[in-house]
Structure 1
Amino acid sequence: MIRLISVALALFAAVATTRVALAQEAAATNGDGVFSEAQREAIRAEALAAILAYPEIIEEAMAILEEQKANKALAAVLRDPNTPVLGNPDGAITLIEFFDYNCGYCKRMADPMRDLIAEIDDLRIIMVEVPILSQESYEASQAALAVNMVGGDYSQVHFDAMTARGRTSVDTVLASAQTHGVNQDILRAVMTSEAIEDTITRNYDAMRSLDISGTPAFIVAGSSSPTALTDINLMPGAVPVEELRSTIEMTRAGS
C-alpha cells in the first residue's frame, strides 16, 4: 500500500507539472487558459507514459478495488446477527464458506472444516448458507438458520447435516436439532420468518456480487474488524485442506 501511494503521488506530480506548464502556455497563447486539443493530447500522453513507467500500479490498484468490492459484497453478511460463526468469533483470520447442504463437494469439506476449527485457535469461520440446488436444500438452510437464531447448537446440527448419508432435508436438520435439545415446533415456527428469508437473500446477493457460480467457495482473509476484511483470497471449489492451511498462514504472516 505504501509503495502504491508513493508511485501514485509521483504520477500525480508528473501529470500536474505538465498541466501547469500547458496552462501557462494556453494563457499566453489563447488568453483564456483553455487547453487546445493538442495540449489535452499532451496531458494524456504524459499520463500514459507515467503509467507505463510504473505498470505495477495498475495491478496494485486492481487488487485494492477487488478488496473494496469484496468488502462491500460481504458487509451485509458480516453485519447480520443471524449469520452463523464457528471457531473463534474474535479470530484474527476469517474463513468464509459458501455452501449448500446437498452439494456433494460441500459435504466432503465438512471433516476438513472441523479439523481447521480444532487446529487453529485464531480462526473465525463464517458460514454462508446459499441453498442453490433445490427446495429441499432451501428448507434445510431455513431450519439450520432457525437453530442459530434461537441459540441452539448450530455447529453440531450443521456438521450432523453435512455428514448425514443421502439427501439432507428439513427433517434431517430438525431431527439433529431435537437430539441437541432444540424443540422442533419452535424451529418450524421460526424457520419461515422474514428475518431468515432476509439472511438467505443477503447471502445470495453476496454470492452474485463476488461472481461465485457454485458451491463450495471459500474466502480466506484478515479480520481488521468484525465487519471488514483485508488480504482477501477467493478460492472457489472443494479446496484441498492443505491449500486452505497455507493460505491462512500466508494471510497471518501478511497481516
Structure 2
Amino acid sequence: MKKSVFPSLRQLTFVTGACLSLSGFSVPAYADSQSFTPEQRKEIVNIVRDALKTDPSILADAVASMQAQATAKQQSDALAAVRAHKDLFGQSNTDIVLGNPHGTLEVVEFYDPRCPYCRKVLSDLDKLVASEHDLRLVEKIVPVLGPNSVLDARAILAAGEQHAYKEFQLALMSDTASPSTDRIRRVAQHIGLNANQLIKDMQSPKVATALHNNIELARSINLDGTPTFVFGDLQIVPGAVSLDELKTALARMRKSH
C-alpha cells in the first residue's frame, strides 16, 4: 500500500544541511529547528525552495532515506520481540513443524490459509525442507483476512487432532470452492478424515487458544502481512519471496551459527 509522506520542518532541515554544505556552509543534519532565528528559518526555507526547484530528487532521496530508517527500526524492534519470546516462537503443540524437529536452523512462518501468496510458496517450502536437512520450519497459522480465514484456520488446526494437519492444509489451500463448513466437510471426507469429529474439534478450546497465541505472537512483531518468515532472531522476511531468496536468508543464518 502506498503512503503519502509529507516532510516536517526537521526533515527539511536534513535536506537543507546537504544544500548548505554545497554552498560552503555547515548545518548539522540533526540541528534542532527551534534553535534558528526567524531570519535563519526564512533563509532555510528559501534555500530549500530553490534547491527543490533545481533538483526535486533531493526531497525524494531524503524521504527514501527516512523510510529506510523507519523500516530498519521496525525490523530491529520486531527482532527484539522475537528474542524476548524466543521459546514461544519455536513452540508448536498445535501448528505443524516441517523438516528436522531437532534442527538448529529454526524458521517460523506466519501464514493465512486464504492468502494467495501463502498458497504460492507452499511448494517452495516443501523444496526448501527437502534440501535443508538441518531446517526446523514452524508454520504458525494466523487468520488475518476475515471470517473465512478463521473458518479455514480452525479446520486446519482441527485436522491436526487427527494427525492430518499437512495433508488437510494442502488439500484445503488448493481447493478453489467458496469457503463454507460444507466445503470443509467435503475436503475432510476426500482425504479420509472423520468429518464430523473435525467439525466438532474446530470449536474446541484447544484450537481457539492456539489461534489466540499465534495472533498475539504476530502482534508482538507488528506483523502487517502474510506470509512472513522469521529466521531465528536474525532476520524477518515479509512477503512471498522466491525459493532462492529463502535459501539466501537460510545461508546467512547458517553462517551466524
- Shift of residue 156, structure 1, vs aligned partner: 1.6
Alignment of 1:8-23 (within 5 A): none
Alignment of 1:18-97 (within 5 A): 67-73=79-85, 75-97=87-109
Which residue is equivalent to 1:54? none
Letter in 2 for 1:210: I
Letter in 2 for 1:107: R
Which residue is equivalent to 1:107? 119
Change over 3 Å in CA distance of 1:171–1:112 after alignment to 2: farther
2:139 equivalent to 1:137: no
Q: Distance in 2 between matches of 1:170 and 1:88?
A: 33
- Long gaps (5+) in structure 2: 1-73
Deviates more, 1:171-180 or 1:86-95: 171-180
Which residue is equivalent to 1:165? 176
- Shift of residue 109, structure 1, vs aligned partner: 1.0
Change over 3 Å in CA distance of 1:88–1:180 after alignment to 2: farther
- Long gaps (5+) in structure 1: 1-61, 222-230
Contact map agreement 2:78 2:220 (CA 8 A) in 1: no
Q: Distance in 2 between matches of 1:214 and 1:63?
A: 14
Identity rate, percent: 27
Which residue is equivalent to 1:189? 200
Contact map agreement 1:97 1:127 (CA 8 A) in 2: yes
Q: Which residue of 190, 213, 218 corresponds with 1:202?
A: 213
Q: Distance in 1 between matches of 2:205 and 2:87?
A: 20
- Shift of residue 246, structure 1, vs aligned partner: 1.0
Q: Distance in 1 between matches of 2:112 and 2:150?
A: 8
Q: Distance in 2 between matches of 1:168 and 1:251?
A: 38
Which residue is equivalent to 2:253? 251
- Shift of residue 167, structure 1, vs aligned partner: 4.7
- Shift of residue 153, structure 1, vs aligned partner: 2.0
Normalised by the length of structure 1, the TM-score is 0.65
Contact map agreement 2:110 2:229 (CA 8 A) in 1: yes
Q: CA RMSD in A?
A: 2.4
2:236 equivalent to 1:234: yes
Change over 3 Å in CA distance of 1:174–1:96 after alignment to 2: farther
Aligned residue pairs, count = 184
Q: Which residue of 128, 135, 148 corresponds with 1:123?
A: 135
